[in-house]
Homo-oligomer: A and B are copies of this chain.
Amino acid sequence: MKIAIAGSGALGCGFGYMMKKGGHDVTLMDYWEDHIQAVQKNGLTVDVNGETGNVQLPMDKPENIEDTFDTVFIFTKSMGLRAMLEAIEHTLSNDTKIVCLLNGLGHAQTLAEYVLEENVIMGTTVWTAGIDEPGITHLMGQGPVEIQEADPSGKEATLEIVEMMQDVGLNGVYSDNVHFTTWRKACVNGTMNALCALLDANIQELFESSQSQSLITKIITEFSRAAEVENVELDIDEMVTYVTEISESVGAHYPSMHQDITNHRPTEIDFLNGKVAEMSEEYGFDAENCALITELIHAKEDVLGIK
Question: Interface of A with B (CB < 8 Å)?
Answer: 195, 198-201, 205-206, 208-212, 214-215, 218, 288-289, 292-293, 295-296, 298-300, 302-303
Contact = CB atoms under 8 A, between A and B. Distances in A.
A269 to B, nearest CB: 12
Nearest to A204: B303
Given A206-B299, A209-B302, 16 more contacts: A195-B299, A199-B299, A199-B300, A199-B303, A201-B300, A205-B302, A205-B303, A206-B303, A209-B299, A210-B298, A211-B295, A211-B299, A215-B295, A215-B299, A289-B292, A292-B293
**Max chain B CB contacts within 10 Å: which of A201, A209, A212, A215?**
A209
- For the complex of A and B, list the 4 residue pairs with the smallest distance between their C-beta atoms, beginning with the closest: A209-B302, A211-B299, A209-B299, A201-B303
Given A210-B298, A212-B299, A292-B292, A198 B201 contact: no
A133 to B, nearest CB: 30
B200 A296 contact: no
Contacts of A300: 199-201
Nearest to A201: B303
**Max chain B CB contacts within 10 Å: which of A198, A208, A296, A303?**
A303
Nearest to A218: B292
Given A199-B296, A215-B296, A296-B198, A209 B303 contact: yes
Nearest to A208: B302
Contacts of A218: 292
Given A200-B200, A296-B199, A211 B302 contact: yes
B210 A302 contact: yes
Contacts of A209: 298-299, 302-303
A288 B286 CA distance: 10
Contacts of A200: 200, 300, 303
A298 B198 contact: no
